[in-house]
């Protein structure tokens, strides 16, 4: 018989412990984001396809083959998709709500699932989660620095060690065009030696050849002078990039200036960066981002620069050291007989109201197996109520960690618990 309980290819089930870790990451990230004065927004998972096509770029992997389409059974005129990333979506939100009319500078963050139909492997899923940040309305290199520092601070707070910051500048749109043209000129004689994907990229998106992981492509681009010297940058873009680097230097932030870093989304201009970890395999970026100074203008007629990044929660989880996880119950109530159960159930409510993580048996098990359950579920204390205890208005309080038990009067139980906890 075909199993009907298999998850969708490329999705991931978080266990109880993993969900705890996930939430812990989100909490720590939010703490830092708040400190940096970024404001949270929650946007839909569903978007119109064209939000992404024009912004991410028609020749990118995401747009060419990874977008999941959603179709209502009786409706097929509107192309709705599962969002593959958040930047284009935040820009859509920003423009649709004319945020620029009331705020000429905005700092947003969002946390949620993204969807890309990629071939799954370690660190690469079809549904994954972003902690994303977008700062809209400034070209200042200090904002570039803040964005990079913020990404690093969040990772530091979460406990990600041994991360490497890689940084580059793609220049303005004109620089990018010149850069692409020069790459074509320089590589024209080597075109047939490129891998199959880069052969296609040569005409459509030559910058992407620079970050190809194939050895033969790396060898070909390795010695391109234009890249090493960043001579494709215009004066203003070079000055801005140098400022970003100066600010990072002044704060003793280590980085690798990686001239081959180009990113896989078309909207990027100027500063781009990735934070990588050696603990990950081929998919080694824990997070990445950069400027997108033309995107808002491309989708509207308003010229507003912006910058942002996104961290991949699943990748963070892969590189984290062991995390302390506790699913301890403070008090478990074990009862003998129906009347004791009533008493126990009422005590359970009071315990919960007083903030104790507490539970009771729901399966009419023997006292022995109730105690076994309590032990298995790491209960610190068990309160036992049987016919004798009912009669005398006392409870047996058993300390499971220290292995002793005492009789406690019903009206003194909270005092005793607080004393022992
Ligand atoms: P991205 O590089 O496509 O950038 O994604 C950011 C991060 O999401 C990656 O560095 C990685 O950690 C994680 N990630 C990406 N794809 C997957 C996947 N298939 N499975 C698991 N994790 C994945 C963006 O999406 C841009 N919107 C970031 C940005 C914001 N740029 C400016 N603002």
pLDDT for 89-103, tens place per residue?
999 999 999 999 999
Ligand 1 center from residue 283 Cα (angstroms) = 11
Q: Is the pLDDT of residue 225 over 90?
A: no
Of 12, 85, 313, 320, best ligand 1 pocket probe by most atoms within 8 Å of the beta carbon: 85
Name which of 255, 382, 270 is nearest 331 in CA terms. Answer: 382
Residue 76, pLDDT score:
66
Q: Please check whether residue 352 is in contact with residue 329, taking contact to mean a CB–CB distance below 8 angstroms.
A: no
The mean pLDDT value of the chain amounts to: 94
Look at 6-20, 218-232, 283-297 and tell me which has the smallest mean pLDDT. 218-232
Determine the Cα–Cα distance for residues 312 and 227; give it in Å rounded to an integer: 28
Q: 7: which DSSP letter? A: P
Determine the Cα–Cα distance for residues 198 and 204; give it in Å rounded to an integer: 9
pLDDT band at 210 (very low <50, low <70, confident <90, very high): very high
Q: Is the pLDDT of residue 282 over 90?
A: no
Q: Is the pLDDT of residue 266 over 70?
A: yes
User: What residues have CB less than 8 Å from 395, skipping those under 6 apart?
Assistant: 347, 383, 384, 385, 389, 407, 408, 410, 413
pLDDT for 343-398, tens place per residue?
999 999 999 999 999 999 999 999 999 999 999 999 999 999 999 999 999 999 99
Residue 304, pLDDT score:
98
Q: Give the 3-state secondary structure of residue 369.
A: helix
Determine the Cα–Cα distance for residues 268 and 290; give it in Å rounded to an integer: 6
Q: Give the 3-state secondary structure of residue 402.
A: coil
Q: Is the pLDDT of residue 2 over 80?
A: no
DSSP 63-116: IIIIPPEE--TT--SS-EEE-S-SHHHHHHHHHHTTHHHH-SSEEEEEEEEEE-
What residues does ligand 1 touch, defined as CB less than 6 Å away? 85-87, 116, 118, 123-125, 128, 130, 132, 134, 285-290, 308-310, 312, 314-315
Domains of the chain by range and CATH? 3-172+234-319 (3.30.930.10), 331-420 (3.40.50.800)
Determine the Cα–Cα distance for residues 269 and 234; give it in Å rounded to an integer: 12
Name which of 65, 68, 43 is nearest 130 in CA terms. Answer: 43
Q: Is the pLDDT of residue 136 over 80?
A: yes
């Amino acid at each position: 018989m075909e199993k009907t309980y298999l998850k969708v290819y490329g999705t991931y089930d978080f266990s109880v412990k993993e969900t705890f870790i996930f939430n812990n990451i989100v909490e720590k990230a939010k703490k830092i984001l708040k400190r940096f004065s970024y404001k949270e927004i929650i946007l839909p998972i569903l978007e119109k396809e064209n939000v992404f096509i024009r912004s991410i770029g028609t020749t990118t992997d995401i747009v060419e083959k990874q977008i999941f389409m959603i179709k209502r059974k009786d409706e097929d005129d509107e192309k709705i998709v599962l969002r593959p990333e958040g930047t284009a979506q935040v820009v859509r939100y920003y423009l649709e709500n004319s945020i620029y009319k009331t705020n000429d500078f905005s700092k947003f963050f969002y946390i949620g699932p993204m969807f890309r139909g990629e071939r799954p492997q370690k660190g690469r899923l079809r549904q994954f989660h972003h902690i994303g940040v977008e700062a809209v309305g400034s070209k200042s290199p200090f904002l570039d620095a803040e964005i990079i520092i913020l990404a690093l601070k969040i990772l530091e707070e979460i406990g990600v060690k041994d991360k490497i910051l890689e940084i580059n500048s793609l220049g303005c749109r004109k620089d990018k065009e010149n850069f692409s043209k020069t790459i074509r000129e320089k590589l024209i004689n080597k075109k047939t030696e490129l891998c199959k994907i880069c052969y296609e990229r040569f005409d459509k998106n030559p910058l992407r050849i620079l970050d190809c992981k194939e050895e033969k492509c790396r060898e070909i681009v390795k010695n391109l002078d234009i890249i090493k010297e960043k001579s494709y940058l215009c004066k203003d873009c070079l000055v801005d990039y140098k400022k970003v680097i100066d600010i990072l230097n002044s704060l003793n932030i280590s980085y690798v200036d990686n001239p081959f870093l180009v990113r896989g989304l078309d909207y990027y201009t100027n500063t781009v960066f990735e934070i990588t970890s050696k603990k990950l395999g081929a998919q080694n970026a824990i997070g990445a981002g950069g400027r997108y100074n033309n995107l808002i203008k491309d989708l509207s007629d308003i010229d507003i620069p912006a910058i942002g990044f996104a961290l991949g929660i699943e990748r963070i989880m892969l590189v984290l050291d062991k995390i302390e996880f506790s699913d301890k119950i403070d008090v478990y109530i074990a009862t003998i007989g129906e009347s004791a159960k009533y008493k126990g159930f009422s005590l359970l409510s009071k315990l919960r109201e007083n903030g104790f993580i507490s539970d009771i048996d729901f399966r009419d098990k023997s006292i022995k197996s109730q105690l076994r359950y309590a032990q298995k579920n790491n209960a610190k204390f068990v309160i036992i109520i049987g016919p004798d205890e009912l009669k005398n208005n006392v409870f047996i309080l058993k300390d499971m960690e220290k292995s002793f038990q005492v009789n406690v009067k019903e009206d003194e139980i909270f005092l005793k618990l607080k004393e022992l906890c």
